[in-house]
Amino acid sequence: MNTGFYFKRGFKCLKKNFLKWVIFLMIVFSGCASKNDELYEAVLNQNMERVKSLIQAGADVNGAVYRGSSILHEAVTTGSLEIVKWLVKYGASLEGKNRYGLTPLLWGVYNGKTKGILPVLDFLIQSGSDLNAENKRGCNALALAVEENEREVVEFLLDQKMDVNAAGSGCEGKSPLSIAAYWGYQEIVRLLVERKADVNAKDRQGKSVLDWAKTEVTAKNQREMLYLSKETSQKEKIAEFLMLHGAKK
């Protein structure tokens, strides 16, 4: 019996079938990727009917589409409550994180200027999104909203009973009020103080809210400095306001 002949023949057969399976799997997965790309495009275009048909055709609602973001992350940034509801209904993860460590809720907070974002955030919370989720720096939703100078979002989160003095387990140990004071966000400082924020809170280094109000903002580039110039010009007024409300030197 020529075992060498049968061995070679068997190997060729296996190799041939293996290549067929590889090609088959490539076709299958490229098809899935195509559906997800189409779903991503439909979400960005807020084409509700197309979104529905693609999901029903098998598009993965939890597939990563852009920089580690899920379809739900991108849907949140459109402000389309209807699409967000549909994705959640079909199993989109509320706690999946993108490359920045942000859940869809935190991503929505970060994009707080999006038209219609508050109803979307409210729906995510009512659907079970973790209101205390944190980004890679250990900053929670309230801290993120303060950093982004999103007054309406800050007020919304406080209405959701978030702790006015808690910025998360990290966030350099600052309180939300310290963050607002440092960046010169006068309206947010006033709002937080109205909501009983501790005007004498200190971070892990012992730096007080008033200290942060007097700390010069360090901009990374000229463009950022131009953006911050209006806010930082308010820092003296913020320091005076804080002292009027009991902040100690």
Give me the average pLDDT of each 10-residue run along the chain (249 residues): 45 44 43 70 91 90 81 94 95 92 95 93 97 94 96 97 94 94 95 97 94 82 55 82 91
Q: Which two tokens stand for residue 135?
A: 């980004």
How confident is the model at residue 72, as a pLDDT? 95
Q: Which pLDDT value is given to residue 141?
A: 97
pTM, entire model: 0.80
Per-residue pLDDT, 69: 85
- How long is the chain? 249
- Residue 217 DSSP class: P
Residue type, 137: R
Residue 16's pLDDT is: 41
The CATH code of the domain at 165-249 is 1.25.40.20
What is the dihedral angle through the alpha carbons of 138, 141, 144, 145, rounded to the nearest 10 degrees? -170
Half-sphere exposure of 124 (CA within 13 A, CB side): 35
Q: What pLDDT, on a 0 to 100 scale, did the predictor assign at position 102?
A: 94
What is the predicted pLDDT for the residue at 219? 65
Three-state DSSP state, 86:
helix
What's the rounded Cα separation, in Å, for the pair 181 and 239?
Answer: 8
Per-residue pLDDT at 17: 47
Query: Residue 119 and residue 97: Cα distance in Å, rounded?
Result: 21
pLDDT at residue 117, as a whole number: 96
d(CA 117, CA 78): 8
Instruction: For residues 217 and 229, give the distance between their C-alpha atoms in angstroms, rounded to a whole number.
Output: 9
Q: Are 32 and 58 in contact (CB under 8 A)?
A: yes
Q: Quick one: how far is CA 98 from the chain centroid?
A: 8
